[in-house]
Amino acid sequence: MNAALDLALATDPGNEQPIIRTERLVLRPLRRSDVGLIEHYTADRRLAEGTRTIPNPLPPGATEAWVIRAMAASADPDGAHVWAIDGTDAGLAEVLGTVSLHRVAPEQCELEFWIGHGLWNTGFATEAVAGLLAANPCKCRSFVAETFQDNPGSARVLTNCGFDYLGDAESWSVARNMRVPTWTYARPVG
């Protein structure tokens, strides 16, 4: 899969975050109109429990506040960059999930992603992650990621995209209100 950076920038003139196209998807900056679909997907306990930071149940206004924060951070070259996984080119919804890069060191980013439950096992997460890594818009030299050990689907996405298993750890899950065992992964560029 060869992801190419679209030369067009997001509609927000202050946002230099690139649009990335894959075979079936467009990874684009978030916009306020994404709140409804994101809230729909993230209100699902199964999805929330597969992430570190999504609460369940969702407090009123939480999704809108997250989208606004993500949009502001994406305008900062050193901030977190969150892309909507847009399926409209394939006749699907404007938002299927999100994928993000968070700088954790000068040349290293942490990858995070989620896909709506009804879209699991479709290859969309793998395609989105592979496209983002190929484009490497943050010019990282390496990527790190983790997944809860009871989420083998996300582990497959990471290994299918060239991540190597590093070891076991634990992370807090807001939705579960507890520490959960994780698998950690790394992937160098090149």
Average pLDDT of the residues of the chain: 91
Question: What's the pLDDT tens digit per position in 48-106?
Answer: 999 999 999 999 999 999 999 999 887 776 778 999 999 999 999 999 999 999 999 99
Which residue, 137, 157, 15, 142, is CA-closest to 76?
15
How sure is the predictor about 121, in pLDDT bands with cuts at 50, 70 and 90?
Answer: very high
Question: Which of 118-123's residues contact partners 24+ apart within 8 Å by CB, and which partners?
Answer: 120/153, 121/153
The percentage of the chain sitting over the pLDDT mark of 90, rounded to a whole number, equals 86
Domains and CATH numbers, the chain: 4-140 (3.40.630.30)
Question: What's the pLDDT tens digit per position in 1-19?
Answer: 444 444 333 334 556 789 9
pLDDT at 138 exceeding the cut of 80: yes
pLDDT at residue 15, rounded to an integer: 61
